[in-house]
Each structure stands twice: as C-alpha cells, then as structure tokens.
Amino acid sequence: MKANNIRLALAYDGSCYHGWQRQKNAITIQGTIEEKIEMMTGDPVRLIGSGRTDAGVHAVKQVCNFMTHSTIAPEAIREGLNALLPEDIFVREADYVPLEFHARYGARSKTYVYKILNRREPDIFRRHFLWHVRVPLDPREMSLCLAQLKGTHDFSCFRSSGSGNIDPVRRILRSELCDSADGSMDVILEADGFLRHMVRNVVGTLVEVGMGKIGVDGFSEILASRDRRLAGMKAPAHGLYLADVSY
C-alpha cells in the first residue's frame, strides 16, 4: 500500500496543555492531534513536529507531518480534524508533501515571538497571551542588546538545564523588538535552532535590561560568559508563540 506524507500547519492556544510532546498521563498537543487523526484514518499514527513547545506556550504556526496509508484528501483531513479537535487547536493548512519531508530534520529556521504588555493596567482579555510587565521598559536599551545576539554564538548562558549535552552554538538570523499593532512590545527571534527555554531566558534578561538592572555591556558579558547563573530571570511561558518554521 502506498503511503502518503501529509504536512499540517497548526495554530494552538497552549494554555490548557502540558506542551507539545506526547506524555503518558497528561494532555498534550501532539497526543490530542494524533488521537483525532487515528479516529479519522483508523490507523496508529506518529505526528512529527518541527520541535516541542513547553506547557503554556502557544503557536501561530507550528508545522508537523505524518505518514498514512489513508487516502483521505488533505483538505478533508483539515476539515475533519477541525471538526474533531477542541477549539484551542486549529489546523490552518494540510497538504501532501514528498515522502522525504520531515518536519523536524528539514526545518531550516524557526521564528518565535514573545509578547510583552508594558503598561500599568493589565489586559484581562489577553492575560493568558502576553506577559504583563508594569515597570516602564526602555526599548532602546533592549534593542541594542537584541542586536548583539545576531549571528553565531554559544548560547549556554541562556540555556536551561535538562537539555542534555547538545551543542550550545546557534545562529540567530533575526532579533528585533517591534511595537505590535495590538499594543504589545514583541521580541522576535529567528534562529536555526533553539536551546531549552532559550527564548524565555533571553526575554527575561532583556526585561531586566529594559528595567535598568542590566546594562548593554553587562548583557555582552553575560553572553560571553556562557554561564547560565549570570543571565536574568526566565520569562513566563504564556507570552511565547512559535510563529513560523522555514524549510
């Protein structure tokens, strides 16, 4: 029987999930979608994501793929999954891809957006979707630090423990601070890969820069130190979005 390789592009609100990766006794994005694909195709399936997202982290565009013997057309899979899935997961796109397409190994870069609401009053309607920082932040200082991240660096200082012995060198293709149309201050990071909690550790340190606790030179020293203990706090999960994956 001929196998098909189907690529999905997903959006999800990660608030109610224990992250992307399937776990035995916890509800995860991967596990939830696999279950619905199995309901549709009748066969066990293994969904390959471009990477994991942590508990509470959202996705505007997560890319994944799965092999199936089912002949259900991608558009019908998209519609069917959207009918079956809870309303906090949405399949934006579904299409056939070549058999060799692999959502994780094929990814050239990933873009994360971290949304900060920097004002006195919270936005109760978006309390699960951005990090509310009441203290006024200096965007100029933060941008100067972000600019330092561009290029290839050893990011050990921004890596949380528990990520194993993998190479801590990553190449940052884009690192910017943007004023979003919806009123938030967005940190945008595109890289060929990310270490564990890297974006949240960068953003937490940047916020300390914005508060004046760490200077631009201090930030350079942290990056050069490769020492996690020197960097700032870890930003909370709920401001973080996987925004795009390039192949």
Which residues in this chain contact a copy of itself in the complex, by CB under 8 A? 11-13, 58, 87-90, 92, 121-122, 124-127, 129, 181-182
Catalytic-residue membership of 54:
yes
Q: How far is the CB of 174 from a copy of itself (least distance, A)?
A: 23
Give the N- to C-terminal CA distance of the chain in Å, as an integer: 28
Nearest distance, CB of residue 229 and a copy of itself, angstroms: 32
**Look-up: residue for tokens 């939830």?**
32
Q: Between 11 and 216, name the residue whose CB sits nearer to a copy of itself.
A: 11
Q: Cβ 121 to a copy of itself, closest distance in Å?
A: 7
Question: Which residues neighbour 24 within 8 Å (Cβ) at sequence distance 6 or greater?
Answer: none
Choose between 79 and 138: whose C-beta lies nearer to a copy of itself.
Answer: 79
The secondary structure of 56-106 as a DSSP string is: T-EEEEEEEEEEE-----HHHHHHHHHHHS-TTEEEEEEEEE-TT--TTTT
Is 237 strand, coil or helix? helix
- Residue 10: closest CA among 41, 50, 45: 50
Please state the closest distance from residue 13 (CB atom) to a copy of itself, in A.
5
Nearer to a copy of itself, 82 or 148 (CB): 82
SS3 163: coil
- Give the span between the Cα atoms of 122 and 176, in whole angstroms: 24
Contacts of 20 (CB under 8 A, 6+ apart): 28, 29, 30, 49, 51, 52, 53, 54, 62
Query: 54, 154, 179, 217: which one is catalytic?
Result: 54
Smallest separation, CB 119 to a copy of itself (Å): 12
The answer to whether the beta carbons of residues 66 and 102 sit under 8 Å apart is: no
**One-letter amino acid for residue 231 of the chain:** A
Of the candidates 243, 149, 125, 162, which has an alpha carbon nearest to the alpha carbon of residue 203? 149
Q: Say if residues 159 and 167 touch (Cβ distance below 8 Å).
A: no
Which is nearer to a copy of itself, 59 or 137 (by Cβ)?
Answer: 59
Identify which of residues 58 and 110 has a Cβ nearer to a copy of itself in the complex.
Answer: 58
Residues forming the active site = 54
